[in-house]
Chains A and B, each alone.
Chain A
Amino acid sequence: MSRDSESEHDPGGFESGAEVGEEYRSMSEDAFDPDLTPMITDDSVVVDVSDVMPELADPEVVAEIVATTREIDTPLGKPLVELRKVTVRFGGLVALDSVTFDINRGEILGLIGPNGAGKTTCFNAMTGVYRPTSGTVGFDGQVLGKLKRNQITRLGIARTFQNIRLFSEMTALENVVVGTDARHRTSVPGALFRVPRHRHEERDAIDRGMALLEFVGIGARATEKSRNLPYGDQRRLEIARALATEPKLLCLDEPAAGFNPAEKAALMDLIRKIRSDGYTVLLIEHDMRLVMGVTDRIVVLEFGKKIAEGLPSEIRDNPSVIAAYLGVPDDATA
């Protein structure tokens, strides 16, 4: 956490994008194992994926299986999500005050702001955890309104959690397969009697689940219980589980929290890989280097209000954003 606050308050953090990943890598080289091979102790359960599913040895095949196959009505570059004057109140507290912005299909949108600015509330209002007090959330030409949370997920919004919430007693693969189940249609009697559709879906789920684990880079740990996975792998597993629901929009809530620079660089690569596979990504993140490096556009919240929106380069020079993050210097008020 100290690393987070450090970069937050570091004006140097507002620096340009493309080389940031490189920078992380060079930072990491002396302190960390550069190629990030997972630590293998003799009690961890490791599967050789290419042994079980030889076709997954090719990263391109993996990317193809993972890639979104669902029909999306919104054309590329048009708004996939439309937040219109969304207000969320908790009693007297206005957590989100008339926030309006779009997420375009195919982009990586960053949602940033100081602690308590309403980023996660905004997330929750989109994924149905909270109902907006007023205002609407439109998604792919449909108003979310009173839909249940599981219906919103099946409509195509998947998310990860700020504090990891995996199904800890399940294996990594089982966690991901729960995600793929969102697209399955087997009924309870169907599962009871193992109808052909059930068998077909079960086979597909394992193939796709393994491909997803390979995609995020933890295929070898497929049969390990998720609570036994290292922290970084748990974060990756959350992303894989969210992708398994075949979302049109993937929402990542502080995916880099607690990561070291090397892991952050790998995460940036992963987010880019997800986007190039056809997904739209909404990213909440504190780490400025990461946000500036990976996003196409940024929306800034403070005290529940949107204070800025624009390209990373514009946000970096926006005086109100700098004021929100760094405060107004003492000599200006004195």
Chain B
Amino acid sequence: MTAPLDSRPRGGVGDGFRLWWNALPRPVQWVFGVPFIALLAALPLLNIPLLTTVGTNFGSVMAQFGMIALIAIGLNVVVGQAGLLDLGYVGFYAVGAYTVALLTSPDSPWNQTGPDGWLSKDWAWLAVLPIAMAITALSGLLLGSPTLRLRGDYLAIVTLGFGEIVRLLADNLEEITGGGRGLSQVAYPRVGVTDQFPLGIFSAGNVGKTLNSGVWWYWVSLFLIIVVLLFVGNLERSRVGRAWVAIREDEDAAEIMGVPTFKFKLWAFVIGASIGGLSGALYAGQVQFVVPTNFNVINSVLFLCAVVLGGQGNKLGVILGAFIIVYLPNFFLGRTEILGIPIDGDSIAEYKYLFFGLALMVLMIFRPQGLIPVRQKLLAYGRQLYVAARRRSEEATTSSGPSTVEVNK
């Protein structure tokens, strides 16, 4: 068969790193992991010359990255793991954001933060967060149960329609959503109120040079990313993750092997949706203002771009993809030179869709699996085996040198 070509280790830096990392015991992984996460968290404070953005505040860029990273993780469950092409994911993002806005904005008829509402002004955002997730999950269930009988392109078209429906509803239900004017003064966690920050550190009014509201939101989203990653990782290394990958690989074979495919596809949709809703709620809290134009279909495509760019199915890959999608346009924005070479950063940022399109095309030719290709581990207790296999293959390559076994072809 064609096996030898595919199974040859690529021997790249990534593979070497992956082997080394996977062989480390769990505690040692944490010893390396915690400082790395701390470094990530400290990025906006360090003010690194070439990294920091010029045109926009680096803190808010990172906050935006955190939200898109959450979205990418959620979309990755649907697209990368279960293989369901969802082009309307922005719809879930919108449902999450609008749930928070509708319950907490004074412009909304359903506002609960007023004098007779059941939400306290200070903690409204946090209290609404699980509600937003639950309602988005419900919307995923509602969308999924009729449409997940479709496959491939058909599913993509229907979900594309869903994304548009949500946006158009938000645009046209003026009495409820405020239509094109949107909903303002959405709640946010009102903590850290001091004389310097009369509205709290999470308020959009905190526009300090380094430790501004963006950084605080970035830290919140970083925390949520870690929590979501742990949960999604648990799912991946269970019968749920295996069912998803089996469905992606061959849905009929999965069904015949006893996987209730419809049920698990629906779960993938619901879980993906609730993560999207979580991100939407973060967004509503940070910006404190939601309008329908933020939930255009082009955003769905951008989210998908992050997943494909980073590496479908790879959780860390899609986070990298999200970083690229958010950071690169902001990197060029307002920049007139890089290392002394004059550039027109503003126009580069303006044409971001063109460049992402080109990047995707180049990627599809040279690295269709994405920047960090997936190596899924689908067994909760498979470590021992993987490590043993690695040791064996290393022995084979180091001790025997060129193959000692005659290959009879």
Q: Which chain A residues have a beta carbon within 8 Å of chain B's beta carbons? A: 33, 39-48, 51-52, 127, 129, 148-150, 153-154, 158-159, 161, 165-171, 173-174, 177-179, 181-184, 186, 188, 191-194, 198-199, 201-203, 205-206, 210, 222-225, 227-231, 241-242, 245
Contact = CB atoms under 8 A, between A and B. Distances in A.
A165 B239 contact: no
A149 B255 contact: yes
B258 A181 contact: yes
A201 B381 CA distance: 10
Contacts of A148: 255, 260
Contact of B385 (A166, A173, A193): A173
Contacts of B259: 150, 178, 181-182
Contacts, number: 169
B405 interface: yes
Interface stretch (B25-33, B178-186, B392-400): B392-400
Most buried by A among B235, B243, B258, B380: B258
Nearest to A44: B7
A237 B252 CA distance: 17
A281 B46 CA distance: 67
A222 B256 contact: no
Given A46-B393, A203-B381, 17 more contacts: A40-B396, A40-B405, A45-B389, A47-B388, A129-B252, A148-B260, A150-B257, A150-B260, A153-B257, A169-B249, A170-B378, A178-B257, A186-B238, A191-B240, A198-B380, A201-B239, A223-B389
Given A153-B258, A202-B380, A203-B381, A47 B392 contact: yes
B372 to A, nearest CB: 15
Contacts of A179: 257-258
Contacts of B234: 191-194
A264 B378 CA distance: 32
Contacts of A192: 231, 234-235
Contacts of B254: 167, 178
A241 B8 CA distance: 25
B258 A48 contact: no
B376 interface: yes
A316 B385 CA distance: 48
B341 interface: no
A188 B255 contact: no
Contacts of A183: 258
Contacts of A166: 250, 253
B9 interface: yes
16 contacts: A43-B397, A167-B245, A174-B379, A178-B257, A181-B242, A181-B259, A186-B238, A191-B238, A193-B234, A210-B385, A222-B385, A228-B6, A228-B7, A229-B3, A242-B257, A245-B257
Given A39-B405, A173-B385, A188-B235, A178 B242 contact: yes
A153 B260 CA distance: 10
Contacts of A205: 379
B1 to A, nearest CB: 5
Interface string B159-182: 000000000000000000000000
B261 interface: yes
Nearest to A246: B258
Contacts of B389: 45-47, 222-223
Given A43-B9, A47-B385, A129 B256 contact: yes
Contacts of A153: 256-258
B1 A51 contact: no
Contacts of B231: 192
A198 B235 CA distance: 11
A26 B28 CA distance: 55
8 nearest CB pairs, A to B: A182-B258, A191-B238, A153-B258, A228-B7, A223-B389, A167-B249, A202-B380, A181-B239
A230 B257 contact: no
B141 interface: no
Contacts of B388: 47-48, 51-52
B320 to A, nearest CB: 21
Nearest to A242: B257
Contacts of B235: 188, 191-192
A188 B240 contact: yes
B245 A223 contact: no
B255 to A, nearest CB: 5
Given A161-B253, A167-B249, A178 B238 contact: no
Contacts of B252: 129, 165
A279 B351 CA distance: 64
Contacts of B123: none
B196 interface: no
A174 B378 CA distance: 7
B379 A228 contact: no
Contacts of B392: 45-48
A43 B4 contact: yes
Contact of B246 (A42, A167, A199, A230): A167
A174 B381 CA distance: 11
B381 A206 contact: yes
A223 B258 CA distance: 22
A238 to B, nearest CB: 9
B48 interface: no
Nearest to B1: A231
A148 B263 CA distance: 12
Contacts of B260: 148, 150
